[in-house]
Structure 1
Amino acid sequence: MMLVPLKRRKLVLSKGNTGVDGGDIVAAKFPQVVLFLLERKMGASRRTFLSQLGRRKGFQVEEQFSKKVTHVICENNCAEDVRTWLASQGGEQAEVHLLDISWYTESMRAGHPVHMLDRHELQELQVDKSEVVVFSVPAYACQRRTTLENHNTTLTDALSLLAENAELSDEDGRGVAFRRAAAVLKVLPSAVKSTSQLTGLPCLGGHSLRVIKDVLENGSSSEVESTKGSEQYKALKVLTGIFGVGAKTADRWIREGIHDLRQLRDSGHALNRAQRAGLEHYDDINQPVSKTEAAAIEELVKKAVASVLPRAQVVMTGGFRRGKPSGHDVDFLITHPEEGREVGLLPKVLSWLQSKGFLLYQKTTRNSYLESKEGPGRPPSSMDRFERCLSIFKLLRTEKQAAEAPQDVMVNDVQAEGEQKSDESSRPEQTAAADRRWRAVRVDLVVSPISQFAFALLGWTGSKLFERELRRWAGYEKSMCLSSHALYDNNQRRYLRASSEEEIFAHLGLEYIPPSERNA
């Protein structure tokens, strides 16, 4: 039999009662009382200090929650929250006392467990029902009027960031779930004060509710803060900010050790034409486009179209049509009141713009849309097949605009990824951008036949989630197939024509919602 030295015997005894190395911790004096200190809102360092204090006083304090625990000690938590946490741990709630930290500190001073009074027990969350309104909203975003006004920006920003991270990580399903949850909160008439107000609302899954609860109780979401600080998220943001680079390409580069623009340049990667243009004009493209700048581009596009085809119509779509004060790019839909007259228009418009020096980059795709007597193919694609041009415009600035332009265009995410201001040699355009009289702007030109124009206008106005919900409503509720080209009724086996957005909403059995209220 191996002899254990006296000092070791004391330590083994202590560990047997507490589950941790205790040093000078004495054996448990009150074996019928097994304590567990909840770290939530208490903090790790304070929990460690209080746990060690309790063990020195002869209390049995467990590091991990288990069925042995008889008393859960909490700080700044309500009973409902702790019971929810306990349930997630498989705890037998009826046999566990939920106590405030005051009981613990009084027991420490007394040297033994004090009698439990009402004031020691965790209080139920008190909600003034006269101030709390339980919200109710329709299930689909296309049934709701969503303006730019938002009473819950802290919550929606948190969910939107998690949605963006999911999309950048090629997890579109999770991204849509967070987007739908944020869209519900955007339409609420007042700020959310308690998760109890959200009972029964659609699209609020368990993950989204946990994020909302965290923000309401702590002012921010730990998951969101962790995501913001993630090197993967930062790198994906920077690399997908390059025009022509998607999430999959960015992820591949990251796995190759490329996390910022300098590393991409030094890597010697062969970039396609779009990516080269995106890298060259990165700073301009990643600056918001103002409504004034969008209006200047609109005037330019209308002049170009009018010069090659009189009576052709140009409509600015996207976020600017919905009333947003700024955007990432500018989208235009072009048509002609006579069917077929729009054919061949786009090359002439681009030629005119090119001759005037307004195009820095352009890539066109031809119209590939064909209707079928049997209806759209299955599954229906959300992508349209119009003739279009993805371009980068050279927008001339007035003297006033040039003076007001940001002087250090590199103070952005790229700077945070290690591009130092002092390293001007690797970015000669960094200095020149502040002095030149123009900026690069992303512009999409889309040409639609007049017979499809109403559908194209609806599809290109957005928001992206609003359009997704319109298609979901059409499919699930009406057995129809909606795209930016047409609406097909699967029951009647025919296309439903429309000359306005109002007619499309009527076909779908929905109340018409104007563009300014489609900001889902």
Structure 2
Amino acid sequence: MIPLKRRKISHTESHQNESCKFPHVPIFILERKMGASRRSFLTRLARSKGFLIKEAYSSAVTHVVSENNSGDEVQSWLENQTGVDTSTSVHLLDVSWFTESMAAGRPVTVQDKHRLKVNPKCNGDDNVILMKSYACQRRTPLKHHNLFLTEALELLAENAEFSENEGRSVAFRRAASVLKALPHRVHSMDELKSLPCLGEHSQRVIKEILEDGTSREVESTRQSEQFQAMKALTGIFGVGVRTADRWFRKGLRSPTDLIRMGQPLNRAQQAGVQYYDDLQKPVTKAEADVISDIVQQAVCAVLPGAEIQLMGGFRRGKEFGHDVDFLITHPEEGKEEGLMAKIIKWLEERGLLLYQKTTRNSYLEKMDGPARPPNNMDRFERCFSIFKLQISDRSTGSHAERSVSQSETLSWRAVRIDLVVSPYCQFAFATLGWTGSKLFERELRRWAGQEKHMSLSSHALYDNNQKHYLRAQTEEEIFAYLGLEFIPPSERNA
């Protein structure tokens, strides 16, 4: 749909303003879902009968006519495009009112059957935003107005994950996501009445914070020995929730305890303990850019023409992250095979990898595409690694030479990096899947399954009704297949 624009008022419209029979009923016909040709036909028909049809929406319009849209869709679209609040100033009407008026030769009385239904808004001075229930339908900026609430809900979500209560964790994260998308700071519970995904538990926490400035449950959780221990143990590279919980039950509370008690560790966990302090420090965007230059150098050296893209939170605009993700491909299908081993060899020869584990690509479209598991773990060739980042002016934002051969370094630190190689035919899906956020991707898959009867993964999109794959070369095409407005990476911070 082409965005609503201010159009020059044509000679025809100027003439009809002077000669129309019903100047007190300025009508705007919404092109959304109707199409330009039908809108043009209805405009000519109405003007031939003396109706006043406006080419552009403005505060002068009293009747908005739409076809195949809900009231919420029309109101939200008009407000987004024009900045005008239509909630009380205009009739939002189904095309049935228009056709009845054409038949009668005059504007018929607006009845309830003609009106498009709009969900009620909260009372108050602040504008209440119509909020879609799926995070993939909403624009969620990196910086928002309700950090004091979302941090509390996300802490409870993290604690639920430590208890392997996925349902509760997702509920808290969905509630936090809604608050992140609000264009204003929440001051009272009344402002939340019409918002989706806010369960009773989340509302209790929010209410307590709004009234008392803090939540007893959140603070109790934050200070609990179990939460602090699980956070420390799961922060070790190579350690998941189940392993951390098993260690906690044995009385282990920190990486130091693992060493002191002689806890057996696998190779990844050994590296995680060894470089624990470094890996707990946030990675800056400047550091990610330095690593990106080095990986780019490695990729180009072993396979000219290959493409590499910085993924994850940094692609969404974050200035800090806990690791650095790269997605690699080659425009010539099949050229990417064997690429990972060559990249790893190049990096190891230069002493840049402190640890690495590579998994092969095991995705087979015929077997794995249509029935992806809920967690969407992809099957790409991937290398989980700990990178040895030389620290100098180069990693603090200086424009100094960034060649790997440069030896004048002050020191180094360990940084987690993930390298992922994708076939070119799957690159758009891999890009979408590896951009995040985690909840945004989860909601995309949920939308695909529940609303569109499709199966979406980081490899493919499968239409379960038509029993075939939908091919895409860009993220925009995938959003279009799913019937969603395209949301750029910077606004996927659900």
**TM-score when normalising by structure 2:** 0.71
Q: Among 318, 338, 350, which residue is 1:344 paired with?
A: 338
Name the CA distance, whole Å, in 1 between partners of 2:280 and 2:465.
46
Q: Is the 8 A contact 2:389 2:415 kept in 1?
A: yes
Cα gap change, 1:378 to 1:359, in 2 (>3 Å): closer
Q: Tell me the CA shift for residue 313 of structure 1.
A: 0.3
Name the CA distance, whole Å, in 1 between partners of 2:307 and 2:185.
42
Partner of 2:480 in structure 1? Answer: 506
* CA deviations over 1:25-71 (Å, ceiling 9, x no partner): xxxxxxxxxxxxxxxxxxxxxxxxxxxxxxxxxxxxxxxxxxxxxxx
* CA deviations over 1:146-188 (Å, ceiling 9, x no partner): 1112111101111011111111221111110000000000010
Q: Is the 8 A contact 2:370 2:464 kept in 1?
A: no
Q: Is the 8 A contact 1:329 1:442 kept in 2?
A: yes
Partner of 2:283 in structure 1? Answer: 289
Aligned partner letter, 1:246: G
1:437 equivalenced with 2:411 (yes/no): yes
Partner of 1:488 in structure 2? Answer: 462
Q: Is the 8 A contact 1:374 1:493 kept in 2?
A: no
Partner of 2:364 in structure 1? Answer: 370
SS of 2:247's equivalent in the other structure is helix
Name the CA distance, whole Å, in 1 between partners of 2:488 and 2:375.
25
Q: Is the 8 A contact 2:330 2:423 kept in 1?
A: yes
Partner of 1:464 in structure 2? Answer: 438
Q: Is the 8 A contact 2:387 2:415 kept in 1?
A: yes
Q: Among 255, 260, 263, which residue is 1:266 paired with?
A: 260
Partner of 2:324 in structure 1? Answer: 330
Q: Is the 8 A contact 1:132 1:193 kept in 2?
A: no
Question: Please, which moves more after superposition, 351-360 or 375-384?
Answer: 375-384
Cα gap change, 1:370 to 1:338, in 2 (>3 Å): same
Cα gap change, 1:373 to 1:437, in 2 (>3 Å): closer
Name the CA distance, whole Å, in 2 between partners of 1:326 and 1:379.
30
Aligned partner letter, 1:245: V
Name the CA distance, whole Å, in 2 between partners of 1:330 and 1:397.
16
Aligned partner letter, 1:437: S
Ranges in structure 2 where 5+ consecutive residues have no aligned partner: 1-121, 399-408
Following superposition of structure 1 onto structure 2, how do residues 422-433 of structure 1 map, counting pairs within 5 Å?
none
SS of 2:366's equivalent in the other structure is coil
Cα gap change, 1:331 to 1:378, in 2 (>3 Å): closer
Name the CA distance, whole Å, in 2 between partners of 1:385 and 1:399.
37
1:241 equivalenced with 2:235 (yes/no): yes
Partner of 2:137 in structure 1? Answer: 143
Name the CA distance, whole Å, in 2 between partners of 1:498 and 1:436.
46
Q: Tell me the CA shift for residue 259 of structure 1.
A: 0.9
Aligned partner letter, 1:382: N
The alignment's C-alpha RMSD in Å is 2.0
Aligned partner letter, 2:432: L
SS of 1:264's equivalent in the other structure is helix
Aligned partner letter, 2:143: E
Q: Is the 8 A contact 1:134 1:196 kept in 2?
A: no
Q: Among 114, 131, 148, which residue is 1:154 paired with?
A: 148
Q: Among 226, 231, 243, which residue is 2:225 paired with?
A: 231
Q: Tell me the CA shift for residue 442 of structure 1.
A: 0.2
1:398 equivalenced with 2:392 (yes/no): yes
1:202 equivalenced with 2:203 (yes/no): no
Partner of 1:6 in structure 2? Answer: none
Ranges in structure 1 where 5+ consecutive residues have no aligned partner: 1-127, 405-434
Aligned partner letter, 1:397: I
Give the greater-gyration-radius structure (CA): 1
Q: Tell me the CA shift for residue 267 of structure 1.
A: 1.4
Name the CA distance, whole Å, in 2 between partners of 1:491 and 1:240.
41
SS of 1:156's equivalent in the other structure is helix
1:354 equivalenced with 2:356 (yes/no): no
Q: Is the 8 A contact 1:141 1:469 kept in 2?
A: yes
Question: Please, which moves more after superposition, 286-295 or 368-377?
Answer: 368-377
Name the CA distance, whole Å, in 1 between partners of 2:354 and 2:235.
18
Name the CA distance, whole Å, in 1 between partners of 2:123 and 2:331.
57
Partner of 1:222 in structure 2? Answer: 216
Question: Please, which moves more after superposition, 435-444 or 459-468?
Answer: 435-444
Partner of 1:515 in structure 2? Answer: 489
Name the CA distance, whole Å, in 2 between partners of 1:381 and 1:293.
30
Q: Is the 8 A contact 1:359 1:394 kept in 2?
A: yes
Name the CA distance, whole Å, in 2 between partners of 1:355 and 1:237.
35
Question: Please, which moves more after superposition, 487-496 or 378-387?
Answer: 378-387
Q: Is the 8 A contact 1:366 1:386 kept in 2?
A: yes
Q: Tell me the CA shift for residue 400 of structure 1.
A: 8.1
Q: Among 428, 441, 448, which residue is 1:474 paired with?
A: 448
Following superposition of structure 1 onto structure 2, how do residues 6-25 of structure 1 map, counting pairs within 5 Å?
none
Aligned partner letter, 2:176: A
Aligned partner letter, 2:214: S
Q: Tell me the CA shift for residue 200 of structure 1.
A: 2.5
Aligned partner letter, 2:466: Q
Q: Is the 8 A contact 2:327 2:422 kept in 1?
A: yes
Q: Is the 8 A contact 2:359 2:382 kept in 1?
A: yes
Q: Tell me the CA shift for residue 216 of structure 1.
A: 0.3
Cα gap change, 1:375 to 1:358, in 2 (>3 Å): closer
Q: Tell me the CA shift for residue 234 of structure 1.
A: 0.5
Q: Among 214, 222, 246, which residue is 1:252 paired with?
A: 246
Aligned identity (percent) is 64
1:386 equivalenced with 2:386 (yes/no): no
